[in-house]
């Protein structure tokens, strides 16, 4: 159930943390299998990556459109008007969060390494190794960790604002 109103920021940040955690798990699996030459499907392990999409089901954040006359009411003459329910919304600015739409296998071919003593070597002495670049995976892990931390910071900032609003 999506959060609405002033709590939507918490939901957006939580969806980002969830997505980055799944991304970190996929990267961890890639690193753990960087040398796996034999899988149940036959052949070497194939790199996994996460595909994110915007969560289009939630439309929680309302922004004022300056080009539209507002017909809403106010609580005080000096306050901003409250938009009516039929207030036009600019789709570009709705806060909706992120979803993990799928986890895909990388289509790059396996790395061929010459190692005639390896049990999975072909007749020419080459072994099909996973299509994983450890440096690329570590860079992705750092990016995912920082994105997770940014979502934690945004979540905590939203929480602090909500707590301060209770003290008004």
- pLDDT digits over 11-45, tens only? 889 999 999 999 999 999 999 999 999 998 888 99
Our count of domains for the chain comes to: 1
Q: How would you classify residue 2: left for phi > 0, otherwise alpha for psi between -120 and 50, otherwise beta?
A: beta
What mean pLDDT comes out for the span 67-88? 47
Domain with 15, as residue range(s), is 5-60+95-166
Judge whether 116 lies within some domain. Answer: yes
Judge whether 115 lies within some domain. Answer: yes
Judge whether 69 lies within some domain. Answer: no
pLDDT for 91 equals: 45
Judge whether 124 lies within some domain. Answer: yes
Decide which of 91 and 11 is more confident: 11
Judge whether 66 lies within some domain. Answer: no
Judge whether 110 lies within some domain. Answer: yes
Determine the straight-line distance between the first and last CA of the chain, rounded to whole angstroms.
Answer: 28
Model confidence at 63, in pLDDT bands (50, 70, 90)? very low
For residues 68 and 88, is the Cβ–Cβ distance under 8 A?
yes
């Amino acid at each position: 159930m999506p959060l609405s109103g002033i709590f939507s920021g918490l939901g957006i940040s939580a969806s980002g943390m969830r997505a980055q955690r799944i991304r970190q798990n996929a990267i961890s699996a890639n690193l753990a299998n960087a040398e796996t030459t034999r899988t149940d499907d036959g052949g070497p392990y194939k790199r996994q990556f996460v595909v994110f999409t915007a969560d289009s089901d939630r439309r929680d954040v309302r922004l004022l459109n300056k080009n539209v006359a507002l017909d809403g009411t106010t609580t005080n003459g000096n306050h901003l008007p409250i938009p009516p329910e039929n207030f036009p919304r600019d789709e570009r600015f709705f806060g909706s969060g992120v979803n993990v739409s799928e986890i895909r296998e990388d289509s790059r071919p396996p790395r061929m390494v010459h190692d005639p003593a390896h049990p999975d070597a072909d007749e020419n002495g080459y072994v099909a190794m996973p299509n994983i670049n450890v440096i690329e995976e570590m860079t992705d892990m750092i990016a995912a960790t920082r994105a997770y931390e940014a979502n934690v910071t945004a979540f905590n900032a939203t929480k602090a604002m909500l707590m301060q609003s209770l003290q008004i």
